[in-house]
Amino acid sequence: MRRILQRLIASWALLALAGCASVDWDYPKSESRAIQGSEDSYLGRQVADYVAAHPGEGGFYPVYDGIDALALRLLLAERAEHTIDVQYFLIHNDLVGKVFVNALLQAANRGVRVRFLLDDVLAKGLDPGLAILDSHENFEVRIFNPFANRSARALDVANLGRVTRRMHNKSFTVDNQITLMGGRNIADEYFGARPDHKFGDLDVLAIGPIVSEVSDMFDTYWNHRAAIPMAALAETPENATEALSNFETRVRKSLEGIETSRYADAVERSFDYYVGTTSNEFIWAPYDLVYDSPDKSSAETADESEFLMNQMSASIGEVKEYLFVVTPYFVLLDEDIEAFQRLRDRGVNVTVLTNSLASNNHVVVHGGYKAVRKPLLEMGVNLYEQRANVDAPADKPLPKDIPVSTLHAKTFVVDNNSIFIGSFNWNQRSLNRDTELGVIIHSPQIAGELVELVSEALPTRAFQVYTNESNDLRWKCYEDGNEVIVKKEPQTGFWKRFNAGFLRFMPIRSQL
DSSP string, 338-382: HHHHHHHHTT-EEEEEEE-TTT-S-HHHHHHHHTTHHHHHHTT-E
Alpha carbon 307 to chain centroid, angstroms: 17
In contact, 78 and 172? CB cutoff 8 Å: no
Measured CA to CA, the distance from residue 427 to residue 283 in angstroms comes to: 30
| Helices and strands (H, E) in the chain, number of each type | 19, 21
* Residue 212 neighbours by CB distance under 10 Å: 16
Those residues whose C-beta lies under 8 Å from the C-beta of residue 273, and which sit 6 or more positions away, are: none
In contact, 75 and 274? CB cutoff 8 Å: yes
Asked whether the CA dihedral 493, 494, 499, 504 is positive or negative, the reply is positive
Cα→Cα distances 21→11, 119, 231, 314, 432, Å: 15, 19, 16, 42, 27
Identity at 159, one-letter amino acid code = N
DSSP string, 424-491: --BSHIIIIISB-EEEEE--HHHHHHHHHHHHHHHHHHEEEEEE-TTS-EEEEEEETTEEEEESSSTT
Measured CA to CA, the distance from residue 78 to residue 102 in angstroms comes to: 10
Residue among 397, 373, 388 nearest 466 (CA)? 373
In contact, 394 and 463? CB cutoff 8 Å: yes
Residues with active-site annotation: 168, 170, 175, 408, 410, 415
Name the 3-class secondary structure at 290: strand
φ/ψ region of 37 (left if φ > 0, alpha if ψ in -120 to 50, else beta) reads left
Question: What is the 8-class DSSP label of residue 186?
Answer: B
- Pairing type for strands 473-479 and 462-467 reads antiparallel
Beta partners for 411? 326, 421
Measured CA to CA, the distance from residue 483 to residue 474 in angstroms comes to: 13
